[in-house]
Amino acid sequence: MTPHADGPIGAREAPALALRGVTKSFPSGTTALAGVDLAVRPGEVLSLLGPSGCGKSTVLRLIAGLIEPTAGSIERAGRAEERDIGFVFQEPTLMPWANAFTNVWLPLRLKGMSKRAAEERVMTALSGVGLADFANAYPRELSGGMRMRVSIARALVTEPSLLLLDEPFAALDEITRFKLNNDLLELWQRHGFTVVFVTHSVFESVYLSSRIAVMAARPGRVVRTLRIDEPYPRHDAFRTSEAYAGFCRETSAALAMAMDAEEAA
């Protein structure tokens, strides 16, 4: 499968994922999401961008099937039954007592795969994030960026067709974050999975995405979708380009409008 988010997408192409009229209320009485409509195209990188509390994590958890919508539906194309989703959380959530290999092996182990049977796939996943030489290292021996790489390898070891990331790089320093942005795009180009990426950073969403869904809070909803019409592969030169600055301006303005709408609500 080749990523084609930079090419024209046929109007009749079935979405990889579609949320229709999704509402989520919690027993506490909070309406986290109200009437979210969102179609994610196969092989695209879609970012959910919005202020804290607008329901970004709730959207991801609904997509992953960790929680159920109160109303509306979520449809997944293809291998939906196999639950082939990779999830990367803001915190790397590694088992501290286990080395990188064992952490990445976990999803395969849960499917009943022995260490020996899983070895090739685990090592491929670790190599993919540049950590082939750190298979025996424990989380405490790794930097924050390396721990996040292990977490990404663990999410990708099952070769999911959909990768969900919830503010994965928010806790990292800027240089490490830029590097991991590039590494994520490289993995995506190599494997062609669909990405839904949650962030509150305009700059990060523009750098990574083929489209950005801008969200507002109270209640959480998608207020605008922007297309970032810049071909892949993207490199650091894009960060300093006129085009990038223009996309960032447009995206910031959309976000400001979303937040104004919220205050008015």
Name the segment binding Mg ion (CB under 5 A); options: 50-58, 135-143, 147-155, 201-209. Answer: 50-58
Per DSSP, what are the bridge partners of residue 24? 33
* Among Mg ion, ligand ADP, none, residue 240 binds (CB under 5-8 Å by kind): none
Site for Mg ion in 93-122 (CB under 5 A): none
210 binds Mg ion (CB under 5 A): no
- CB burial string 71-83: b at 16+ within 10 A, e below: ebebebbeebeee
Q: Out of 57, 103, 210, 251, which residue is the one contacting Mg ion (CB under 5 A)?
A: 57
Three-state secondary structure call for residue 63: helix
Closer CB to Mg ion, 57 or 151, in the complex: 57
* Among ligand ADP, Mg ion, none, residue 182 binds (CB under 5-8 Å by kind): none
Do the Cβ atoms of 216 and 223 come closer than 8 Å? Answer: yes
- Going across the sheet that includes 31-40, the strands are 31-40, 17-25, 71-76
> What gap in Å lies between CA 126 and CA 52, rounded to an integer?
32
* Among ligand ADP, Mg ion, none, residue 58 binds (CB under 5-8 Å by kind): ligand ADP
Question: How is residue 125 written in tokens?
Answer: 């996943």
Closer CB to Mg ion, 40 or 54, in the complex: 54
In one letter, which amino acid is 242?
E
* Among ligand ADP, Mg ion, none, residue 26 binds (CB under 5-8 Å by kind): ligand ADP
Other beta carbons less than 10 A from residue 127's beta carbon: 13
* Among ligand ADP, Mg ion, none, residue 54 binds (CB under 5-8 Å by kind): ligand ADP
Closer CB to ligand ADP, 146 or 226, in the complex: 226
Per DSSP, what are the bridge partners of residue 211? 46, 227
Closer CB to ligand ADP, 135 or 254, in the complex: 254
Over the Cα atoms of the chain, what is R_g? 18
- What are residue 150's phi and psi, to 5 degrees? -60, -40
Report the nearest approach of Mg ion to the CB of residue 125 (Å). Answer: 25
Positions touching ligand ADP (CB under 6 A) are: 26, 28, 30, 32, 50, 52-58, 220
Report the nearest approach of ligand ADP to the CB of residue 31 (Å). Answer: 8
Name the segment binding Mg ion (CB under 5 A); options: 55-63, 67-75, 145-153, 199-207. Answer: 55-63
Angle at the Cα of 198 (from 24 to 145), degrees rounded to 5?
140
58 binds Mg ion (CB under 5 A): no
Chain contacts with Mg ion (rule: CB under 5 A): 57
